[in-house]
Amino acid sequence: MKELLTNLFGPNLPFDLINKGINIVMILIVMTIVIGILKKVFSRKKVYKKDALLDETSAGFFRKVLIYTVYIIAAVLIIRSVPGLEALGNSILAGAGIMALAVGFAAQEALSNFISGIFIIIAKPYRIGDVIKVNGNMGTVIDITLRHTVINQFDNRKLIIPNSTMNKSDIVNSTIGSPDTCAYVEVGVSYDSDIKLAMRVMREEIMKHPLLLDHRTEEEKAAGVPQVMVRLTALGDSSINLKAWAWAGSTGEAFVLTCDALEAIKARFDVEKIEIPFPCLNLYDRK
């Protein structure tokens, strides 16, 4: 045992052991201080402007990169402070070709996700806090890690997607630009119904909603374009399909407006005797 320690730490065993132990402790202390400073500096969200080069999204990503870099540098310095461990590590790596090959294959995907994350941070197709829709799933981006993008869906479930997948997917971003969202209110009425009355009822009920925005230009207002546009969109097999365009301040408000409008329109249709058709099944008894 003494011979092994002498080979690792040299002939001056007690002094070298203490000296190297102090070096390792100092490395760990410096690493802890640097990581603490990085976390404190990059946690100041108020200093990041949304459209700036270093916004909250970029700061969070680079904070993770820098922290992992500090960990790697500290590990290398600790290993280098013990020369025997460096030689031992080289021996282990030389005899672990199969393991290195497996790690290499695994690292390809990890590296792909890391590079894709850098492209996402630079191009900014979405940022932390943006409401996006990807692969049919919609939610708010809450984190962009070195490997994954984390999306909080509206049912509070977390959707974790690799950055490489996000980089190749079609993304609908509801936050870039104006957050105003057009809500589509679609209703089918029977062929016996008064179409003009049905369209007027839809417009009047939607106009009552407090979340409705006036999205018309001054020219459209002067031309008398209605705030809520209602059009006949299709003559279906069993119904005449009507569609109203109504603007709200966000995706969430547009959803609420649509739900409330459908409820109000149904109640008003009942009063006005406007029929909403539904499938009917006729049975014939040939006895």
Tens digits of per-residue pLDDT, 60-77?
777 777 887 888 777 777
Counting residues of the chain whose pLDDT is more than 90, the rounded percentage is 33
Mean pLDDT of 131-146: 89
Residue 266 has pLDDT above 60, yes or no: yes
Residues contacting 194, CB < 8 A, separation 6+: 274
Of 194, 191, 174, the closest CA to residue 183 belongs to 174
Please, what is the angle between helix 56-80 and helix 83-94, to 10°?
100
Residue 136 has what pLDDT? 87
As a residue count, the chain comes to 287
Predicted local confidence at residue 274, as pLDDT: 93
Strands of the chain (E only): list them. 131-134, 137-144, 148-153, 158-162, 171-173, 181-189, 229-235, 240-248
pLDDT over 50 (residue 111) = yes
Higher pLDDT, 230 or 78: 230
pLDDT at 265 (0 to 100): 96
Token reading at 219: 């020219």
pTM of this structure: 0.59
Rounded CA gap, 170 and 189, in Å? 35
DSSP per-residue string spanning 39-98: HHHHT-GGG--TTSSS-HHHHHHHHHHHHHHHHHHHHHHHHHTSHHHHHHHHHHHHT-HH
Judge whether residue 42 has pLDDT over 80: no
Sheet holding 137-144, edge to edge: 158-162, 148-153, 137-144, 131-134, 171-173
pLDDT band at 96 (very low <50, low <70, confident <90, very high): very low
Domains of the chain from N-terminus onward: 2-95 (no CATH), 131-173 (2.30.30.60), 181-272 (3.30.70.100)
